[in-house]
Chains A and B, each alone.
Chain A
């Protein structure tokens, strides 16, 4: 009963916050039906190879749908299912694959967890939804409300005004491409992390614990640390489905290549994701080598280069334009003129966003940041400052969407 209530609450909040379309109701119901049917099938077939096969088929079905353009590539621009019946498919198919491969015998009530519309509208992938209602309500509010406030600030005040910079994606010279990649990295982080924190807080207040999808990824010394803080629910699925089984047979470098290739395929079947996957696998392997040989500083440098170059490639699924960008031609500093002509709210967002990333990075070894759970933003003083800035600046003038949303 509680899970039904949670699903209904998720549906209502999703419809009010994310969508004006009546069609969304069909999408929400179809996702639930799909999960029910999938779980029914798992429960009827014997365990072993066939279940493993189904788990991989489920995970890779996202790539197949992407190939046929039923769901759009996940570049960070608006991504969606072109057919409403596949609303949230990439999220619940990954959740189901995770449940099956973990050899958990899913119950029908699991479909209510996996297909919760709020999780399907932006992630995280529902690896678990644990009952937390034994904590008294006011204690839950005290602990989880700050996550909502911080998430709201990141999403609406830092990320949303940055949509005004998106025209930069069309500029192909080196400086513009790099400037866009840096800003877009900030946008994706603030948008996705903000929504994830809001959902984490909201579910927590309702009495359920879901995965914390981001853990201060920029509080990192190297790319390995970075991935310990970025889109953790997807990382968990990829590790279980791809890294762990391959690692049993092959060296870790091969397992990493397979993992990043699978990640790229989940995001979309386009050339840019393939290059992005190869790049990150390479950076990861080089970092392991450097750390094993105690070579300092260099892992940090390739972390920065890897993130920027990775985002440049990730963001652009237009192959011709991407090739032009990767030629890195110098055509002056026109991109900075564009930045200077941006609205003041966008400039403030840039300053606040990069300020937060700088705090995450430079103070990563302090008590407040060491646990990587945004504690430094959840103190009463920080929350007061965040609320004041939010109340002062928020308006509905910009495009709002979830970067990982609804596909």
Chain B
């Protein structure tokens, strides 16, 4: 009995406080040492690619849907001009991060000479607007310090034992995704992952914000807003009606915008990928063949606008 009481005292007055202090120390350590290396490297390589070019006519903007799914090199070949792909994983986690990334990557002088912007954002089709507006995550995915570490102690131990396999995001010419160094793997269907389209009030806020910011960043460019699509055949609830409603509302907003005398913004709604053979592992990101398919489809729209 006495022995048990002593053990309990030891645990409560020494070991439990020690664990709490250890946890606080771990929080600080993990914050200082957190690095999202694949994203960090991808961002750095993209900036280097952009800096190496003196002039470009068009830029692809957006998140990973556009990085995997659209090719600046192909658009350049098709249109006989120079394009770059300045998309970022998770679109920089917030608009503020992403727009800062654009301004720090391209000088104002270069931005003035850009004629076309393709903007393909998945925040139109996923419910992440609120999260994007409130996030404290930076461009490479590092959070501010809180009472929860961004990665668990278990995952650090796993790293140290060599069980974690990091996959780099290779950057190819013109900032495109380097599929040559990235095996996509088997397609894994996710039938319950929903497409959740922006409601009308959020859409108006979204458009106003994007139009103002992108017009400031690229004062002489035509802006093509692209509603991205995925491979939808295995989805239980693709919600095609929701998509039609979103596109209609976007058209209404742009019609009103053009009535105000500003005719530099266009809308395209991309078709779903016709086969899972065009996808890289999941139903949202294209593989190399899927990228070619989507780029060709989008180019037809650009020709019409030109």
Partner-B contacts on A (CB < 8 A): 17, 20-21, 142, 149, 156, 167-168, 170-171, 345, 379-381, 383-384, 387-388, 390-397
Contact = CB atoms under 8 A, between A and B. Distances in A.
Interface stretch (B8-16, B41-49, B80-88, B289-297): B8-16
Given A170-B236, A387-B19, A394-B153, 19 more contacts: A21-B134, A142-B12, A156-B148, A170-B192, A380-B11, A380-B15, A381-B11, A383-B11, A384-B15, A387-B23, A390-B23, A391-B23, A391-B26, A393-B152, A393-B153, A395-B151, A396-B146, A396-B148, A396-B150
A20 B136 contact: yes
B16 A384 contact: yes
A395 B16 contact: no
A405 to B, nearest CB: 15
Interface string B176-214: 000000000000000011000000000000000000000
Contacts of A390: 23
Nearest to A389: B154
Contact of B192 (A171, A379, A388, A396): A171
Contacts of B193: 167
Contacts of A167: 192-193
A275 to B, nearest CB: 23
Given A20-B134, A171-B192, A387-B20, A393 B236 contact: no
B143 interface: yes
A387 B16 contact: yes
A48 B23 CA distance: 55
Which 5 residue pairs of A and B lie closest in terms of their CB atoms, listed nearest first? A380-B11, A167-B192, A395-B152, A396-B148, A20-B134
B103 interface: no
Contact of A394 (B15, B19, B134, B149): B149
A388 B11 CA distance: 12
B3 interface: no
A383 B237 contact: no
Contacts of B151: 395, 397
11 contacts: A168-B192, A345-B152, A381-B11, A383-B12, A387-B19, A387-B23, A391-B22, A393-B154, A394-B152, A395-B150, A397-B151
A381 B8 contact: yes
B11 A392 contact: no
B148 A384 contact: no
B155 interface: yes
B165 to A, nearest CB: 15
Interface in B6-52: 7-9, 11-12, 15-16, 19-20, 22-23, 26
Given A381-B8, A383-B12, A396 B19 contact: no
A391 to B, nearest CB: 5
Contacts of A380: 7-9, 11-12, 15-16
A355 to B, nearest CB: 18
A379 B11 CA distance: 10
A25 B18 CA distance: 36
B11 A384 contact: yes
A395 B148 contact: yes
Nearest to B146: A396
A365 to B, nearest CB: 22
Scoring A345, A390, A391 by chain B CB atoms within 10 A of each residue's CB, the highest score goes to: A391
A406 to B, nearest CB: 13
A384 B14 CA distance: 11
A384 B22 CA distance: 13
Contacts of A396: 143, 146, 148-150
A379 B146 CA distance: 28
Contacts of A388: 19
Contacts of B147: 17
Contacts of A394: 148-149, 152-153
Contacts of A170: 192, 236-237
A387 B19 CA distance: 7
A392 B154 contact: yes
B211 to A, nearest CB: 24
A391 B153 contact: yes
Contacts of A395: 148-152, 155
Contacts of B20: 387
A171 B11 CA distance: 46
A345 B9 CA distance: 32
B37 to A, nearest CB: 17
A144 to B, nearest CB: 13
A379 to B, nearest CB: 7
Contacts of B22: 391
